[in-house]
Amino acid sequence: MSTAETLLEDLVSASRILADQGICDAFGHVSVRNPDNPGTYFLSRARAPQLVTRQDIMEFSLDGRPVGDDERKPFLERFIHGCIYAARPDVHSVVHSHSRSVIPFSISPSKLRPVIHSCATIGHDVPVWDAQDVFGDTNLLVSSEAMGRDFAKSLGKGRSALMRGHGSTVVGATIREAVYTAVYLEVNADLQIKASALGPITFLTPGEIDRIQARLADGKPGEGYDRAWEYWCQNARVDSSA
């Protein structure tokens, strides 16, 4: 298969994995930048991630317009993806979800920070974007380019960001990295909530975070993102060979 076709198969697998891992339910979505045209990206039509197939994938320009004559219903919040790709040339995959342990950190003063080595990919800082600050009362969905650009500004150069009373978005240099970070953002939130009941938390240091991220980025066969991907594909009953 061509590189683009392989990525589209991975995109379908990513949707199934995120559903199987409880990161997405009927809602949430994952995209990948077009390797042959960085000014477009691939994202499923509006459909529950567990049900996404290769035939559901649509192509969009960075302003959220479907490429060609595709008239299928797109995700309303596709602007999250396009605006991040426009702002971040280093990003090649985006995951948006509403995983439940993460939500409390978007509506409380507690900052979400890495507490365990496997969660270092969430980044040094996980900002909280509040639509209210710029747009006033909304339905909290990122439903326009203006909102998408403002959220991308809040994400900055980071790997993950929360949306107040809504959910979270993570990015990666690859689909596998973005999926890994989305899964472990939820893991970190759950562990941090549990640890907070026991007393002060010892968080990872900035140096530890940098070293762990560098090791995972090495991309050695059978390690890091690939090992997790193979395991999650098995659980979700999708092909890990793509």
Residues marked active site are found at: 77
Sheet hosting strand 160-163, strand order edge to edge: 57-61, 40-44, 29-33, 93-97, 167-172, 160-163, 128-129
- DSSP letter, residue 120: G
| Distance separating alpha carbons of residues 175 and 38, to the nearest angstrom | 15
C-alpha angle 60-43-81 in degrees, rounded to nearest 5:
70
Tokens at 5, concatenated: 């076709």
Which own/partner pairs from 50-57 qualify as long-range (CB within 8 Å, at least 24 positions apart)? 50/15, 50/16, 50/19, 50/20, 50/24, 52/12, 52/15, 52/16, 53/12, 54/8, 54/9, 54/12, 57/8, 57/11, 57/12
**Beta strands 128-129; 160-163: pairing state:** parallel
Burial 216-238 (b: 16+ CB within 10 A, else e): beeeeeeebbbebbeebbeebeb
| Distance separating alpha carbons of residues 54 and 36, to the nearest angstrom | 18
